[in-house]
């Protein structure tokens, strides 16, 4: 008898019970029981709106899990849906990679398309639309414009990088100031394309830091 205390009531498991549980799990696997969580289109998202389904892959990491995307083929004024709007995204059960299952990031992929905080082009060609928020310490989050957020991020970068001397051709001249490694960290994004990643890597090299992480993690 193997005994292990777990809380006031304790927990007890005999060898015989363990063998029985293992045999039951093996039998379920042999019978083809599917343990993969399958997702389906949300009725609240699709409802009575006519749509076409497209097969694609999740962009959040290199696993390339299969997804199905419902795109409206008819407008719904009551629900604010126009033709061509993405109204739901769920796991593709026919995909050999994920068999319909999605992690938390893949399951929330609809927000990548429709989130109101996603950046976009505003009526001002020199500004971005969307929402940004800022807080100091553990204070409350306050809404600020995207332009303000970008300016503050750029100013913080310049401050952390320190003074940079440029020669006549605009090339950086001089050693990296001490402390950059401790003051800056870069966080990559799996949605960036080759050109964006090239520029991103150039910026990282300019700062001379090895503090680099990536978003494509569970």
What is the average pLDDT value for the chain, to the nearest integer? Answer: 74
pLDDT tens track for 90-139: 999 999 999 889 988 888 888 888 877 677 665 666 666 677 888 888 98
pLDDT tens track for 53-103: 999 999 888 788 999 999 999 888 888 888 998 989 999 999 999 988 998
For residue 37, pLDDT over 70 is answered with no
Distances (CA, A) of 151 to 49, 97, 145, 154: 42, 42, 10, 5
pLDDT of residue 92: 92
Which CATH number fits the domain 43-114, given the four candidates 3.30.300.30, 3.40.50.12780, 3.30.200.210, 3.40.50.280?
3.30.200.210
Which pTM value belongs to this model?
A: 0.55
């Amino acid at each position: 008898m193997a005994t292990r205390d777990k809380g006031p009531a304790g927990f007890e498991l005999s060898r015989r019970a363990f063998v029985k549980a293992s045999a039951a799990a093996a039998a379920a696997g042999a019978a083809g029981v599917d343990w993969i969580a399958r997702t389906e289109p949300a009725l609240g998202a699709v409802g009575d709106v006519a749509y076409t389904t497209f097969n694609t892959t999740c962009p959040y990491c290199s696993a390339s899990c299969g997804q199905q995307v419902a795109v409206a083929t008819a407008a719904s004024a009551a629900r604010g849906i126009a033709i061509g709007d993405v109204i739901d995204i769920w796991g593709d059960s026919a995909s050999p990679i994920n068999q319909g299952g999605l992690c938390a990031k893949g399951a929330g992929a609809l927000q990548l398309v429709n989130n109101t905080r996603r950046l976009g082009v505003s009526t001002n060609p020199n500004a971005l639309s969307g929402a940004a928020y800022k807080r100091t310490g553990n204070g409350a989050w306050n809404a600020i414009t995207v332009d303000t957020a970008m300016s503050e991020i750029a100013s913080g970068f310049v401050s952390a990088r320190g003074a940079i001397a440029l020669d006549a051709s605009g090339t950086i001249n001089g050693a990296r100031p001490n402390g950059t490694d401790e003051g800056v960290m870069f966080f990559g994004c799996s949605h960036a394309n080759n050109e964006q990643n090239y520029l991103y890597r150039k910026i990282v090299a300019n700062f001379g830091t090895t503090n680099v992480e990536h978003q494509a993690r569970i």
